Amino acid sequence: MAATPVSPIPVAPAGLTRRAERFVACEGIRVAPHDIECHREAWIEHGVPAAEIDRAVAFEDRWGGLALPPAPFYESGPRILGADVPEGSASEGWWIPAGDGRYSMAYGFMIGPEGEFGISGYHWTPLHASTEGWVESLALANHARRWAKTITRITGKAVDSLDLDGYEPVPEVQGLTDSWWRGKDSLIAVYRGEAVGMDAPGCLAAHVYAGLDERALRAD
């Protein structure tokens, strides 16, 4: 029997804000996910715990095959979300590849032992507490870019001089190394992942989206 074709129009996984749901449905494309289960026995023979394979399968079931527009940082992010063979050890923990990058880079995108979404190069650096947080950050950047009157990009040491007094963190992005902040008429995205993970302070960056009205600030 022929396999049922995958619709290219993705359905957003449950648990996202309405903003992120619209972003996934309107801006994303779904391709056929990988069959992770067919590798289970081979991966177990190579020492991968069954529980970690279960995590990879769960990630693939939820996110596999989802292609989203380029991220504003991290060399545009993964081309297509999708799991692969877990990497790690019993002593250090296990990480699951989250999707190949769009370019040749010094780090890869991974899912951490606690479900964090981050980058792994010289160091493991969790960016968001979950893949949901990563997708929410992409959706918020897309939204802010569309409605902001001005966008200012700040790099290096100047990022640490940003005055965030009066700003509040945006909770849905579940920021760890990276973060989003909401002010009275602006949103600020702070990208510290490359600076921390690559020991490269010059890679520190922030994007300030200004001139947002109340509706644009709170749209979720």
Q: What would the pLDDT profile of 152-165 be if each residue is shown by its tens digit? A: 999 999 999 999 99
Token pair, residue 192, equals 């510290």
Pair 192, 177: CB distance under 8 Å? yes
Residue 122 and residue 55 in one domain: yes
Of the chain, the end-to-end C-alpha distance in Å amounts to: 42
Residue 107 and residue 186 in one domain: no
Report the number of distinct structural domains present in the chain.
Answer: 2
Residue with structure tokens 């849905």?
A: 172
Residue 79 and residue 154 in one domain: no
Phi, psi of 158 (to 5 degrees): -60, -25
Asked if pLDDT for residue 110 goes beyond 70, the answer is yes
Amino acid symbol at 16:
L
Residue 145 and residue 211 in one domain: yes
Strand partners, 190: 179, 206
Q: What digits encode the pLDDT tens for the residues 160-217?
A: 999 999 999 999 999 999 999 999 999 999 999 999 999 999 999 999 999 999 989 9
Residue 153 and residue 126 in one domain: no
For residue 207, being part of any structural domain is answered with yes
For residue 102, being part of any structural domain is answered with yes
Pair 25, 12: CB distance under 8 Å? yes
Q: What digits encode the pLDDT tens for the residues 46-97?
A: 999 999 999 999 999 999 999 999 999 999 999 999 999 999 998 889 999 9
Nearest to 40 by CA among 83, 99, 85, 96: 85
Q: 3 pLDDT band (50/70/90 cuts)? A: low
Residue 102 and residue 37 in one domain: yes
For residue 10, being part of any structural domain is answered with no
Residue 34 and residue 107 in one domain: yes
Residue 128 and residue 140 in one domain: no
Residue 118 and residue 140 in one domain: no
For residue 141, being part of any structural domain is answered with yes
What's the pLDDT score for residue 140? 97
Question: Domain boundary at 132, 160, 186, which?
Answer: 132
For residue 89, being part of any structural domain is answered with yes
Residue 145 and residue 126 in one domain: no
Question: Domain boundary at 72, 106, 132, which?
Answer: 132
Token pair, residue 208, equals 């300030």
For residue 110, being part of any structural domain is answered with yes
Task: State how far the alpha carbon of 6 is from the alpha carbons of 3, 25, 59, in Å.
Answer: 9, 14, 18
Mean pLDDT of the chain: 94
Residue 36: is it exposed, middle or buried by C-beta count within 10 angstroms (0-12/13-18/19+)?
buried
Residue 155 and residue 118 in one domain: no
Give me the domain span that covers residue 46.
18-132
For residue 188, being part of any structural domain is answered with yes
For residue 24, being part of any structural domain is answered with yes
Question: Domain boundary at 132, 157, 186, which?
Answer: 132
Residue 142 and residue 212 in one domain: yes
